[in-house]
Structure 1
């Protein structure tokens, strides 16, 4: 099978996408660390818990929602527990599973961090685009995610299976 090399337009688009994929996470991380003392991933974990029913998710569901391995997530949740932002408990409906729950302090932390984070996202990603480009970005993201995340773990609303019973 012959390699289908990128043409100049495809190459330019690819290089720009890779540059954004490399630069954006580090920039978001820097701003969050400076402004709220959270890494971008810690913020993401707290945000997913804040949106869950009863602010609680099974660790396995939280791992899917954050595109994380259980060992990485467990390490980060342990750090968040040490700060009083999250607590882990055995799942009441499945003794083999563990639930992570956002505490009141965790809620306060995400509420305090969110305005600055949203402003950074707006400044870096949305404000440079026209409304039409924002729509196109959403459409492009959806098209790419059908290949990268076909089950929609990172983008779908929480299902009853993911939320603790």
Structure 2
């Protein structure tokens, strides 16, 4: 994939609201790094998704939901909290939970204190599926990522990802984020 610079003569707003500055285009090394990241993250997600589909008949995002529920007190979370922590829309979460319910791995329960609220609850069957699936998934993660990196590279990757995540974490309570809709 080759990078093409699109130079626009119109003014461009910057992230801090100041206008009429040209974009800071990526230099060649930054572009190679960016494209490598995009390519690797796409391949990694596909690899993990195929492993989980093969071993457990579920996509990676569903596995992530089961993991979050398994770690929650009493293996239950409000649907809004699960959407927020999963970074998916409430609509997509509702669809996913419906599929997990159909498999018998999750059930929903109305919130006694909030008529509009619901809990997603990991069932014993769902916990067992997660318990059986986890070893193969950890093996796939190790094979795809950690076994390819030195301990120093693993540490650097962790530090880099924490910095990126921290910088992207919304600071304002009313941010227009898909998982809050």
Structure 1 residue runs without a partner (length 5+): 152-165
Q: Which moved more, 1:124-133 or 1:6-15?
A: 6-15
Q: Distance in 1 between matches of 2:92 and 2:41?
A: 20
Which residue matches 1:24?
Answer: 44
The one-character-per-residue Cα deviations of 1:51-106 (angstroms, maximum 9, x if unpaired) are 00000000000001111100100001001101110000111232221000000000
Which residue matches 2:114?
Answer: 94
Q: Distance in 2 between matches of 1:42 and 1:135?
A: 28
When the two chains are superposed, the root-mean-square deviation of aligned CA atoms in Å is: 1.1
Which residue matches 1:62?
Answer: 82
Which residue matches 1:157?
Answer: none
Give how far 1:115 is off.
0.5
Q: TM-score, normalized by length of structure 1? A: 0.88
Query: In structure 2, the residue corresponding to 1:89 is in which secondary structure?
Result: strand
Residue from 48, 58, 63 that aligns with 1:38? 58
Query: In structure 1, the residue corresponding to 2:93 is in which secondary structure?
Result: helix
Q: TM-score, normalized by length of structure 2? A: 0.80
Structure 2 residue runs without a partner (length 5+): 1-20, 172-181
Are 1:148 and 2:150 counterparts? no
Query: In structure 1, the residue corresponding to 2:67 is in which secondary structure?
Result: helix
Q: Distance in 2 between matches of 1:60 and 1:16?
A: 34
Aligned residues: 151
Greater CA radius of gyration, 1 or 2? 2
Which residue matches 2:146?
Answer: 126
